[in-house]
Amino acid sequence: MKSEQLISKNIEVFYNKASEETRLEKGMGVFEFERIKWIIEKYLFASPSKIIDVGGGTGKYAEWLAKKGHEVHLVEPVAKHLQLAENRAKKLKNKFSVHLGESRKLDFRNNYADLILLHGPLYHLQKKEDRELTNIEAQRVLKNGGIILGFAINYTASTLVGLLNGLIHKSSFFEMCKNELTTGIHNPPDDFPWLLAEAYYHHPEQLKEEFRH
C-alpha cells in the first residue's frame, strides 16, 4: 500500500518538502521536544511499557523512549519519514519497530498498549468523524488503565504568529486566521506555501469533549 492512500496528498507533499528530521533540533522546536518529553514521562508508570507512537514522524520520540528500555512501535504514513525512522531504529541496541499506517486503523490487537501517543493525527484530520475514529482505535488498542496522550494545535496559533510577525495585515493570512478562529479549519494560502499543510486547530474544551466521547 502506498502512503499516498493513507493521508492527504497535500500533507504528503508538505512533509516531503519540509525537514521534520531537523525541526526539533532548532529554534522553538528544541523547547517543544523537551516539553513533550517531560509530559510523556509524567505518564510512564510501567517499565518497560508497550508504547505506540502514532504519527511518530522520523522517530525522535521513539528513539528516546526505546533508549529508556521501552517497547516502542512507531506508526507513520509518510514514506520519507518511515525511511528515516528505520535508519534511526537500526542504530539502537533496543530497536523500535516501524509500521506504515495511520491512526484510523491501527494494526495492533485489543488491549495491547500501556501508552499511545497521538502526535499528528488530531491536527491533520480536518473531519470530526476521522478524529473520532482515531480516538476509538486508540481506545481499542489501549490496555485497561492505560494512557492516551493526544497533541493538538490551539485555534489561536496562526493569529498569534500573524500578530507577532506582522503577517496579519496580509489579506490571505487574515482570512486564514479568521477561518481558523471560527471553524478550526486550517488551509494555508497559496502565497504562504511554507505554512503547515491542511489541519484542524482545536479549542481546548472541544479537544476534551472529543476524547470524552
| CA-angle at 9, arms to 181 and 167, nearest 5° | 35
Per-residue tens of pLDDT for the chain, all 213 residues: 344 457 788 887 877 777 777 787 888 889 999 999 999 999 988 789 999 999 999 999 999 999 999 999 999 999 999 999 999 999 999 999 999 999 999 999 999 999 999 988 999 999 999 999 999 999 999 999 999 999 999 999 999 999 999 999 999 999 999 999 999 999 999 999 889 999 999 999 999 998 886
Q: Determine the pLDDT at residue 213.
A: 64
- Cα–Cα distance measured from residue 39 to residue 29, given in angstroms and rounded to the nearest whole number: 15
Residue whose entry in the numeric block shows the C-alpha cell 496562526: 158
Residue whose entry in the numeric block shows the C-alpha cell 478562529: 181
